[in-house]
Chain A
């Protein structure tokens, strides 16, 4: 079983692609890691030898690449910092609205999630 940084790599994919299944490794970094580890990027994961896997894991560890849990923690710490010191950006994170000045009259559904229809909210006066 090919496990790197606590993630099972898909067996049928080329290692170049399979590495991008790790959070924090994209196509570009994947190529760099493989180049440094001296592993052919076209090999399928199931055909990888144990020492090749070990070399890849080694590069990830020794180059201090932040992946998976560490990276997620760092990101959430950064957001938490913005919220704690009371910045405008922090408040946007807290409200789940776009942080970088995009419009919110329409769009920004990625941040806001699926549409929720809100009525006028007017209560009948008695």
Chain B
């Protein structure tokens, strides 16, 4: 079920404050963040977020057609190589 429109998009207040501060300062540093659940707001366009995937921070540059998605959607949490011994890391390294 989708979120009630009455509430508007979910935005992490701390993160938004930081983005607004950086917008005022015209600062384009990479923003390290753990809040995968925060929606992408138009003000974030042009910033680069390093979004935690549980292990690493994945750098994502926000463009205008990402608005409305959640930050977590851009930072995959699972690694799937392939099935079978022939394609395990060891076998791939041998090739």
Contact = CB atoms under 8 A, between A and B. Distances in A.
B76 A91 contact: yes
B52 to A, nearest CB: 15
B65 A81 contact: yes
A122 B85 contact: yes
B87 interface: yes
Interface stretch (A3-11, A30-38, A113-121): A113-121
A85 B87 contact: no
Contacts, number: 34
B42 to A, nearest CB: 15
A121 B60 contact: no
Given A86-B60, A91-B76, A123 B85 contact: yes
B86 interface: yes
User: Interface size class for chain B?
Assistant: 10 to 19
B27 to A, nearest CB: 24
B74 A86 contact: yes
A123 B91 contact: yes
Interface in B73-90: 73-74, 76, 83-87
Given A87-B74, A88-B73, A88-B76, A121 B87 contact: yes
Nearest to B83: A118
A89 interface: yes
Contacts of B86: 121-123
Interface string A97-119: 00000000000000000000011
B63 interface: yes
Given A85-B63, A85-B65, A121 B76 contact: no
Interface string B55-76: 0000010010110010011101
Contacts of A89: 73
A88 B69 CA distance: 11
Interface of B: 60, 63, 65-66, 69, 72-74, 76, 83-87, 91
8 contacts: A81-B65, A88-B72, A88-B74, A121-B84, A121-B86, A121-B87, A122-B84, A122-B86
